[in-house]
Structure 1
Amino acid sequence: MTTLPDPPVPSPGRPGRKLGPVVHGVGSTHRAWLMPVREKYLVSGLTLNELSIRVSLAKSKISELLRGTGLYPRWEIVLSLATELDLPQWPLLRLWQQAALDAHKTREWIERSGGKPFLTASGPPLEHQAFQELVEDDYRLYAQAFLDDHQRDTAVSDTFDILWLSWNDALASYDTRHYAWQVLRACVMSRTLHLDGRPELAHAAFDTVALYDLTDEADRISQIEESLNLFKAISRLPDHQLDVVVLSHLYAMDAERVSNLLGVSLATVRSEERYAVQHLDSVICPPT
């Protein structure tokens, strides 16, 4: 499954107790807000002891929170860390709420844990807003290939919240578009049903344009079967080829548009598409 970009590495000469890794089993929505908080702490130059003093919370509790151990943390505790680490609060709250629901917390518990009354009003950076306006519709199309409407909207919303939290890292990367695409892909794939380790595309087969032009039931069933076989083969493609094929063939985007969206060269897009088509031709029998 696609993962988010690697977090910054703390300075080797930093004093104090070293923060352990995130424990196995932390869910994807929990990681969505936890990783940006960890990364912000790791580059802050603070030790756990110094952070403990500033937020009036035991070092052990901070360590548990930043490693994802113990009980799911209350919002007021997360907010105290976010305030000290200078993290934007609105996207963090939305991601925290979604993860709380996925952790089977009730809405009453979420409301009791704090929320909007503690927040300071602020919006995302102007560059972030401009970027979102530029790519949001295409991000939604990509997510639609794998998810239902509700899951699609949640994955795209989470993507831009995560980017808001890590916008400086996105700008510092070699290509902001590529960084953002990896975040989107991680959010989409974390919510996508996987079979044998590959994302399930079966429901996309029922959303093809060809199906709407068929009135004969036999032709419709034949087309569904053909589409299911095609999308099953597409789902087995390597990640980069899969993304290119979904964008260029399912949504008829030209190579330049796909290049700009993925943050890779035009030559790379054409190469990935060529290899993907050759592979699909080799495993799918053409219709008679």
Structure 2
Amino acid sequence: MTSSNLFGPGDPAEPPGPGQGRLGRPLGPIVAGCPAEHRAWLELVREAYLESGLTMTVLSGRVHMARSKISELMSGRRYPHWELLLTIAAELRLPAGPLYRLWRQAAPEIRRKSRAWSAETAATVAVQYSPPLHHNGFRDLTESGYRFYAGVFLTDPARTAAVDETYDQLWLAWAKALSSPDIRRHGWGVLRTSVMSRAPHIDNCPHFLHTAFDTLALHNLSGLEHAQAASEQLAETQDLFRAMSRLPAPQLDVIVLRFLGGMTEEEVSDLLGVPLAAVRSDERHATRFLENVLCPPPDTEGTLS
């Protein structure tokens, strides 16, 4: 059974609808400069709050916490203690297991060493909460592809952190994932955001020369017919990676999976959750771009007829 059959529209656990007629001051934006790892869980907590229909006043009364403290938490101005976040998560019906891991991963290093952030707490949370069955099935189907993709751009421990963060984010908002048009496409979007937030960039393009060279799949570059012919004319394969980094996101992903990962078109389509025709189109346009960059046509200007 493919992932599209197992996790299609119509599965149970539809997310609650947004609150109607919410009173009180609207939720302010997340502060500028909030780190990506902090945003990974904060944005999902904010979404759960907005969908709950609760006002800040009602939530404040239920968790016995000042509205100013909740507002600081929701805006990312201050990193909360776990006990405070857990109290709010319980009211918003968010699973504690993935939230704890996301929270702990983003916690400032000094707090990770404190008693409140002990390993015993992590173990207790993990025992009390296990992922939904469908979540485990989805992870089994996608994890190897996710880990390979993350490894092209990142080295450990960042690679492992990006993949684990992806599955924790999906679990934290599993109802939303199940109700998406295609859970595979939704999951890939979460993974890509997590990976690219950690990958170094030059001129807004992901810089992955060293990590790509370290992957065994680099030897599969011979499958890229036109770009391979062009790259043989270059002194270093680095030029190929620099050119790849300039591809639009869908084309880059297809090229990485197809010719660094050695996946078939069907496997790429299934992992990304996009039609096979889209994979072929992205591959065709990407190959043409690489051809033009790596082996441009000769300049005929000024030649005699």
Normalising by structure 2, we get a TM-score of 0.82
Match of 1:23 among 3, 6, 31: 31
Of the three residues 249, 272, 278, the one matched with 1:239 is: 249
Give CA-to-partner distance per residue, 1:80-112, whole Å, 9 cap, x none: 111111111111111111101xx3434323x32
- The match for 1:121 is 128
- Aligned match of 1:88: 95
Q: Is the 8 A contact 1:205 1:224 kept in 2?
A: no
Matches within 5 A, 1:118-197: 119=125, 121-197=128-204
Return closer, same or farther for 1:206/1:134 CA change in 2, 3 Å cut-off.
closer
User: Which residue of the partner structure matches residue 57 of structure 2?
Assistant: 49
Provide the C-alpha distance between the structure 2 equivalents of 1:22 and 1:236, rounded to a whole number of angstroms. Answer: 30
CA distance in 2 between counterparts of 1:145 and 1:224 reads 22
**Distance in 2 between residues matched to 1:151 and 1:42, nearest whole Å:** 31
1-structure distance, mates of 2:177, 2:235: 42
Q: Which among 249, 253, 275 is matched to residue 259 of structure 2?
A: 249
The answer (yes or no) to whether the contact 1:135–1:261 under 8 Å persists in 2 is: yes
Unaligned runs of 5+ in 1: 1-7, 212-221
* C-alpha RMSD over aligned residues: 2.2
Deviation string 1:118-163 (CA, Å, 9 cap, x unpaired) is 7470211100000001100110000010001321111101100000
Matched, 1:258 2:268: yes
Change over 3 Å in CA distance of 1:264–1:154 after alignment to 2: same
* Deviation string, structure 1 residues 168-199 (Cα, Å, up to 9, x no partner): 11111111000000000011001100011010
Q: Alpha-carbon deviation of 1:206?
A: 4.5
| Count of residue pairs brought into register by the alignment | 265
Letter of the structure 1 residue corresponding to residue 42 of structure 2:
L
Question: In 1, distance between residues paired with 2:234 and 2:133?
Answer: 45
Distance 2:28 2:18 in 1: 12
1:112 corresponds, among 104, 112, 116, to: 116
| 1:13 positional shift | 2.1
Verify the 8 A CA contact 1:240 1:272 in the aligned structure 2: yes
- Structure 2: which 5+ runs fail to align? 1-15, 222-231, 297-305
Q: Percent identity?
A: 51
| Runs of 4+ more than 6 Å apart | none
CA radius of gyration, larger in: 2
Contact 1:194–1:200 (CA<8 Å) still a contact in 2? yes
Q: Deviations 1:234-260 (Å, cap 9, x if unpaired)?
A: 011001100000000111111111011
Within the candidate set 49, 52, 58, 2:66 is matched to 58
Distance (Å, rounded) in 2 between the aligned partners of 1:77 and 1:133: 33
Supply the distance in 2 between the matched residues of 1:195 and 1:245 (Cα, whole angstroms). 19
Compute the displacement of 1:60 (Å): 1.1
> TM-score under structure 1 normalisation?
0.86
